[in-house]
């Protein structure tokens, strides 16, 4: 699933959307608003792309950000805890 930085979530198919909504209801995924808050606390960058993927029962937010110097940053968060798993980019 892909999100715009300020837009509502966009799903590519109903089945994936239903899976995501079920996972949110079960507490397996923190909502996008909580992710935005976490990113704003940790990084001085703006979200430009978000993907939410599920692999073997674990949900991962994959983000692309742009910082104040126009550097692209890629970061992954575990969707249930919003713990940062990986970060890549220049001048970090």
**pLDDT, tens only, 22-72:** 888 888 899 899 999 999 999 999 999 999 998 888 999 999 999 999 999
Residue at token pair 């692999």: 55
**pLDDT, tens only, 71-90:** 999 999 999 999 999 999 98
Residues 78, 56: contact at Cβ < 8 Å?
no
Rg, C-alpha atoms of the chain: 13
State how beta strands 2-3 and 45-55 pair.
Answer: antiparallel
């Amino acid at each position: 699933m892909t999100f715009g930085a300020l837009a509502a979530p966009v799903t590519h198919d109903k089945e994936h959307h239903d899976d995501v909504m079920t996972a949110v209801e079960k507490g397996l995924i923190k909502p996008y608003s909580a992710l935005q808050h976490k990113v704003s606390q940790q990084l001085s960058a703006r979200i430009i792309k978000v993907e939410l993927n599920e692999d073997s029962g674990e949900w991962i937010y994959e983000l692309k950000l742009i910082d104040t110097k126009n550097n692209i940053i890629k970061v992954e968060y575990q969707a249930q805890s919003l713990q940062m798993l990986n970060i890549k980019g220049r001048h970090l």
